[in-house]
Amino acid sequence: MTAKKTVLRALAGEVLPTPPIWMMRQAGRYLPEYRATRAQAGDFLSLCYNPELAAEVTLQPIRRYGFNAAILFADILLVPQALGADLWFVTGEGPRLSTITSQAELDKLVPADAIHDHLSPIYETVKILSRELPSETTLIGFAGAPWTVATYMIAGRGTPDQGPAHALKDADRVVFDALMDRITEATIHYMSAQIEAGAEVMKIFDSWAGSLQGADFAQYSIKPMQRITSALKEKHPHVPIIAFPRGAGERYQGAHAAIGADCIAIDDGVDASWVAQHVQPDGCVQGNLKSSHMVTGGEALVSETRRIVEALRGGPHIFNLGHGITPDADPENVQLMIDTVRNA
């Protein structure tokens, strides 16, 4: 069965004539069937914690498009909630959390190894998917990287510049480092449990890595991802890891070795030809079509898709977007992208 899974073959370093394809946020609001299921669930968190419905929305883009991988439907902020933070979603505005900015607030969180029961519905979703996905489709689990998760826990919401997290990091390094450690340990437990439930690949999303400058990038983006990867590899040595330090720019070079990841996901801020020269020689790369092409479509989508496939043809490559697909995307453009990759 595994021999047919092109995503696993690419992650193992095989250069395939046609790159496998999946898409970040491929289960999402751009699909009418997702919107219907989310309405059935009642709200976003209820959908995340309902294993049958979460599995259903994970399967929807596989049925519609035949992607080579399915990524578990969940949210990176379930880990802070499991640690004891309050979490809710404001319609049209996104997540809100109770904030962690002091030792007293940090002390109220539960230990990292006490999150399992809270997250058990997520593991049940993975089990359902491992049974129901087509035999050729790879199941990807994921978590947010500690820096990105910390930015939400400190600010209580998403921010344009991650300013509150930078401020705490600079003002109280003891509390900041302790919070990062707690998130890192919890993430190791969470990702390991996903693997034990049936996930075949794990991805670490550091969506706000690009806001870290100088030594902080290595200290707070790369090192926590390396620590997670090392722990997972020790316990599950055959499970590939994809790392996504979004916004890294030229710092993508050397990321495979620094993190220990099998694949580095690349955002659309760097050119595929540069990636081929400076990143792909170290291992599989994933990316990196601009998400906006899923909205605008047309010849620009086709030509840019072909260019990326051609640029990365010489090494192991998983075709993906440079960031998640947006709610205003046209489902027809997704099909056009897939057809273009598979006929390139």
Q: What is the pLDDT of residue 1?
A: 47
Please say whether the beta carbons of 57 and 12 come within 8 A.
no
Long-range contacts of residues 253-260, Cβ cutoff 8 Å, at least 24 apart? 253/278, 253/279, 254/282, 255/222, 255/279, 255/282, 256/282, 256/283, 257/282, 258/218, 258/222, 258/226, 259/222, 259/225, 259/226, 259/229, 260/226, 260/229, 260/230, 260/233
Which value, in Å, is the radius of gyration of the alpha carbons in the chain? 19
- 141's enclosing H/E stretch is strand 138-144
Rounded CA-CA distance 308/151 in Å is 32
Instruction: Give me the residue label for tokens 């390396």.
Output: 226
Q: What is the pLDDT of residue 3?
A: 63
Q: What is the pLDDT of residue 91?
A: 83
Phi, psi of 247 (to 5 degrees): 85, 10
Rounded CA-CA distance 259/44 in Å is 32
Please say whether the beta carbons of 72 and 194 come within 8 A.
yes
Q: Report all structural domains of the chain as residue ranges with CATH numbers, in order of start.
A: 2-343 (3.20.20.210)
Phi-psi region of 326 (alpha: psi -120 to 50; beta: other; left: phi over 0): beta
- The pTM of this model reads 0.98
Spans of the chain, pLDDT less than 50: 1
pLDDT in tens, 202-225: 999 999 999 999 999 999 999 999
Phi-psi region of 25 (alpha: psi -120 to 50; beta: other; left: phi over 0): left
Q: Peptide bond before 288: cis, by omega within 30 degrees of 0?
A: yes
